[in-house]
C-alpha cells in the first residue's frame, strides 16, 4: 500500500474493522516514512461472467440503466431505481461468490422490480426470459394476477357476499 501523501510503500495497519455488513474491511494505516495516517477500505470485487465466458466488474449503474428502459413512462423515480440497484448488488454480494453469472444478475432484478412496478416487470421479464409468444405474456400476467389474489383487494361491489362467519 502506497502512502497517499508521500508515496512511500511501507505502511503499518493500526486497526481493522468490518464494514458494510461484512462486505468490506476498513483499515486505519500509518506511513512509516512521513508518519501520517489514512484509511483504506478493502471490498470484495464482484465480477459478472457473461455468456461468452468473459468477465467484467459488476456495475450497478449498468443494472439501473437496463431497468430504466423497462420503466420508461412508468411512475418510477430515480430514487426507486437507485434503491433497486442497491438491493440487487446487496443480494449478489450476500451470495458470497466473487464471480456471478449474468443470468443471476437478471434473476436478482426480477423480484425487486415486480414489487416496484408490475408493468416494468413484464417489460423486463419479456426480454430477460425471452418471451416468444403472447402465451408467454399471458402466463406471466396470470402469475402476477394469482400473486395479487393472495393480497386482500378492496372491492367496490356492494352486492358481494359477506365472508363466512360475518353478517
C-alpha distances in angstroms, 25 versus 18, 20, 42, 118? Answer: 5, 8, 5, 38
3-26 pLDDT tens trace:
999 999 999 999 999 987 677 899
67-125 pLDDT, tens digit each:
999 999 999 999 999 999 999 998 998 887 889 999 899 999 999 999 999 999 999 98
pLDDT above 50 (res 37): yes
Q: What are phi and psi of 117, to 5 degrees?
A: -160, 120
pTM for this entry: 0.66
Q: Give the pLDDT confidence score for residue 156 in this predicted structure.
A: 44
pLDDT at 155: 46
Planar angle of CA 142, 106, 114, nearest 5 degrees: 40
Decide: 108 and 92 in contact? Cβ < 8 Å.
yes
Mean pLDDT of all residues in the chain?
87
3-class secondary structure per residue, 9-50: CCEEEEEEEEEHHHCEEEEEEEECCCCCEEEEEEECCCEEEC
What confidence score (pLDDT) does residue 152 get? 52
Helix (H, G, I), strand (E, B) or coil at 29: strand
Q: Which residue(s) pair with 84 in the sheet?
A: none
Amino acid at each position: 500500500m502506497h502512502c497517499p501523501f508521500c508515496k512511500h510503500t511501507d505502511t503499518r495497519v493500526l486497526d481493522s474493522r468490518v464494514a458494510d455488513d461484512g462486505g468490506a474491511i476498513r483499515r486505519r494505516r500509518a506511513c512509516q516514512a512521513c508518519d501520517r495516517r489514512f484509511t483504506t477500505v478493502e471490498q470484495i470485487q464482484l465480477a459478472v461472467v457473461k455468456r461468452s465466458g468473459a468477465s467484467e466488474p459488476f456495475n450497478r449503474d449498468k443494472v439501473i440503466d437496463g431497468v430504466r428502459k423497462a420503466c420508461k413512462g412508468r411512475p418510477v423515480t430515480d430514487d426507486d431505481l437507485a434503491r433497486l440497484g442497491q438491493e440487487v448488488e446487496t443480494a449478489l454480494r450476500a451470495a458470497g461468490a466473487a464471480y456471478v453469472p449474468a443470468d443471476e444478475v437478471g434473476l436478482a432484478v426480477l423480484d425487486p422490480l415486480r414489487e416496484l412496478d408490475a408493468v416494468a416487470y413484464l417489460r423486463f421479464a419479456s426480454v430477460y426470459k425471452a418471451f416468444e409468444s403472447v402465451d408467454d405474456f399471458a402466463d406471466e400476467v396470470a402469475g402476477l394476477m394469482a400473486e395479487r389474489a393472495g393480497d386482500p383487494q378492496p372491492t367496490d361491489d356492494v352486492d358481494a357476499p359477506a365472508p363466512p362467519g360475518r353478517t
